[in-house]
Structures are given as C-alpha cells and as structure tokens.
Structure 1
C-alpha cells in the first residue's frame, strides 16, 4: 500500500511550449516584413523546446515532493516516515538544520517545514504549500 498522501511535481511540462510559441511569433513578424526563413524558425523552436525540456526535467528531479505512508521524498533524497517524530510549527528550526533534498537552502518559492526526527535532530522539509505538507505529515505521524 504505497498511496500518495501529498505530492508536488516540481514543474509542469507547459514551459516546453515557450520556444515554439516564440518561433511562431517571430515567423509571423518576419512574414509581415518579407520572406519567412522557415527552417531557421523550426530550428529555433526545437532548440528552445529542447532547452526547456532539460530545465523542466531537472526541476522535476530536484524540486519534486512526494509523501507516502512509508517515505517522504524531497528532490533526490528519501526519508523513511518511521524516522519522523514530529512535524509542526512548535518544533522550531535550528539555524544549522539540514535541508532535505541535498540543497544548501530551501528552494526559492518553497516554504520550509521543520521536522523533528526520532534521533532528536531537526531537518527542514519543504513544499510550495508548506501548510498542506505539514498537515499531511502531522496526520501521518499521529496515526
């Protein structure tokens, strides 16, 4: 039973469309002023879409969050739920607390959630919706 209690993908796939949209707009502007260099615009669209795909893939690996009944996955790091003792605002965050996921700090636009582990240490989990992750962790730990 590995049902997902909370999940954030890290990024959606729609940014891949930025390159082709830019290329279509560029081709339309070029069409209004003279001949259209179709091959160039197709290459621009493919290049930008490829670069965006790499960026999205990286964000989905590094900034995704998934909480199941067995594990909490933050980016590339996985923590067993049995090691979590508490997850709420009363825990507090020590200045030198380790951030889950392997980063130096909570990712930008994400909210930190202090989590006390069974060994007495405190780590910082993170999510875009920190309150929802905190609530899901609290319910899981208390059950």
Structure 2
C-alpha cells in the first residue's frame, strides 16, 4: 500500500485501485466454465464470455477512476491527493489526531478535503493540515497513520528541524501545567 524510500523520491504512495481487480470477474467465469466442462453439463460459452467481458469492462472504469481520484503520492516536494497537488512549502503544520474522547470537533474536521471530491473518500482517514495562509484542509489516505508519519518527516526534513514536533503552535495541554485548561469533561465536571 505504501512505499517508503524506494529510490524514486516517493515517500508514500497509495494507488487508489489495483489493476489485478480486473481479473477477478473473468477468473470467476473461467472457473464456472471449467466446472461446466468437467461435469459434462451444458457449456454456456456465449454467456460466460459475455459476462466476463462486461464485468471486466466495468471494473476497468472503476480502476481508472480510482487511480485518478483517490490515489495519494507524497514526495520530498509535493503531496498529491487525487487530481490536486499541494506543495509541501504551502503546509505550515500537520495537526494532531482527533481526540476520540472529546465531544468537540477539531477545526480541521470540517475543512475542505484535498482533491476534487466533495469530502474524504470512503474507507480513508482524514489528516488535518494547517496551511501557510492559516486555513485548514484535510489530507486523507487508507493508511492515514503512515501518511501522517511520512508527511511529518518530510516537513521536518524540508525545514531542517528533524526531531522537532511539526505540530507546534496547535492547542494542547502544554500551556496549562495542570492539564485542565478550563474545560469541562463530558459529564460537566471540571477536568
């Protein structure tokens, strides 16, 4: 799913769809054909060939769409999500993951998703990014923890701050030594 350090400058990649899935429908039709021949029953040549071609044709369209619209690629200089490319120099910070225990949504969760789709694609996780201009966007990937780690590492390397957290400047409990930061828990009691 993800490729790291393969010599081509690609730090992370997800293809969106794989060409091997085109062979599943025709393979199933081939198994059915084999069973019909072995059992000496009527062989439905035309129906099986027609179904195999039809299924393969639809899956080819899905693979092309998947590779175009839900593929992810991260290099040393760009992040490409679907058909949208974002230079790493335009990213100010990778925001922390959503707190599962919090009832409040993070600012980045309602931000625009990268790519030309209306939101984060199904079966993919969002990653909050703060851009240099102060706005928020969502990057996404199936392996979103892997993309988060590769993106954070690439930004650190680009800025020459390896080992320093790139999420500096986000709100966390560092500013509040006792960890309460004046908020209440879900049941109304002070934290």
TM-score normalised by length of structure 1: 0.88
Q: Which residue matches 2:63? A: 56
Q: Which residue matches 1:127? A: 141
Q: Which residue matches 2:14? A: 8
SS of structure 2 residue aligned to 1:40: helix
Cα deviation 1:29-88 (Å, max 9, x = unaligned): 544373212233122211111111111111111110001112110011111111011113
Q: Give the structure with the higher percent helix.
A: 1
Structure 2 residue 60 is matched with structure 1 residue 43: no
Cα deviation 1:13-44 (Å, max 9, x = unaligned): 22111211221233245443732122331222
Contact 2:109 2:128 in 1 (8 A): no
TM-score normalised by length of structure 2: 0.68
Q: Which residue matches 1:115? A: 129
Q: Which residue matches 2:101? A: none
Structure 2 residue 90 is matched with structure 1 residue 76: no
Q: Which moved more, 1:128-137 or 1:115-124?
A: 128-137
Structure 2 residue 120 is matched with structure 1 residue 106: yes
User: Are the structure 2 counterparts of residues 102 and 16 from structure 1 closer, same or farther at C-alpha, using a change threshold of 3 Å?
Assistant: same
Higher relative contact order (CA 8 A, sep 6+): 1
Contact 1:71 1:79 in 2 (8 A): yes
Indicate the structure (1 or 2) with the bigger Cα radius of gyration: 2
Distance 2:107 2:74 in 1: 21
Contact 2:16 2:72 in 1 (8 A): yes
User: Are the structure 2 counterparts of residues 94 and 100 from structure 1 closer, same or farther at C-alpha, using a change threshold of 3 Å?
Assistant: same
Contact 2:108 2:138 in 1 (8 A): no
